[in-house]
Homo-oligomer: A and B are copies of this chain.
Amino acid sequence: MNKEVKNVESALEGLQDNMTIMLGGFGLCGIPENSIQQMVKTGVKGLTCISNNAGVDDFGLGLLLQEKQIKKMISSYVGENDEFERQMLSGELEVDLIPQGSLAERCRAGGAGIPAFYTPAGFGTEVAEGKEVREFNGKPHILESALTADFAIVKAWKGDTEGNLIYKATARNFNPMMAMAGKITIAEVEELVPAGELDPNEIHTAGIFVQRIFQGEKFEKRIEQRTVRQK
């Protein structure tokens, strides 16, 4: 089944105000750069974005925040973005902070048809407010629900025309679960190959989860904390 679309414009067709969008990545690592830039271009507004982080001021989701295109963020950590913190503390931006493991599992659950599950993470904290608490093996757990999105936008290293994806190193992070949880899942890849060129044993995300795939025009792959040692 050929899922290839010709460019980022076609990939994001149907993107509308007030949609819920999942975006893969951890920090700036493994984020769908081309799609984010296109989202800025379209001027779409009122978005609910589910993403572990919120980019930095001038890259990643920070670009959408600068333009005030995001109404609500669902994230686990947003500490690298001053504009974010300003909008949040001023009340312009709704923010739902979720423990990172619960965020990952809730996306997976959304893709896997599991409507809810119990986790110990957040028990006794404000994360647990309004949530059911139940003990298992003498330990309290809270009930967390699945997350899904109108569009899930992920970034992979290699992909084939069937939508099969391979991520590179720690750029994998949230991409595989979000790919499962999109009503429409869009994959931007560094290299798009014909079906049959990827080893079926090495594929991280099966094409069944992906509706549209395209090769990104340019990947800046900005590094957030360049740390090195001397030779």
Enumerate chain A interface residues (CB-CB to B < 8 A). 105, 109, 112-120, 136-137, 141, 145, 166-169, 200-202
Contact = CB atoms under 8 A, between A and B. Distances in A.
Contacts of A115: 118, 136-137, 141
B119 A116 contact: no
The 8 closest A-B pairs by CB, nearest first: A115-B136, A117-B117, A202-B202, A116-B118, A114-B117, A115-B118, A115-B141, A114-B119
Contact of A117 (B109, B200, B202): B109
Contacts of A117: 109, 114, 116-118
Contacts of A167: 201
A191 B112 CA distance: 33
25 contacts: A105-B112, A105-B114, A109-B117, A113-B119, A113-B120, A114-B117, A114-B118, A114-B119, A115-B118, A115-B136, A115-B137, A115-B141, A116-B117, A116-B118, A116-B136, A117-B117, A117-B118, A136-B145, A166-B201, A167-B201, A168-B201, A169-B200, A169-B201, A201-B202, A202-B202
Contacts of A120: 113
Chain A contact surface mostly: mixed
Contacts of A200: 169
A115 B112 CA distance: 17
A63 to B, nearest CB: 29
Contacts of A105: 112, 114
Kindly name the residue among A109, A116, A169 whose own CB sees the greatest number of chain B CB atoms within 10 A: A116
Nearest to A204: B201
Contacts of A136: 115-116, 145
Contacts of A118: 114-117
A167 B199 CA distance: 13
A116 B142 CA distance: 11
Contacts of A114: 105, 117-119
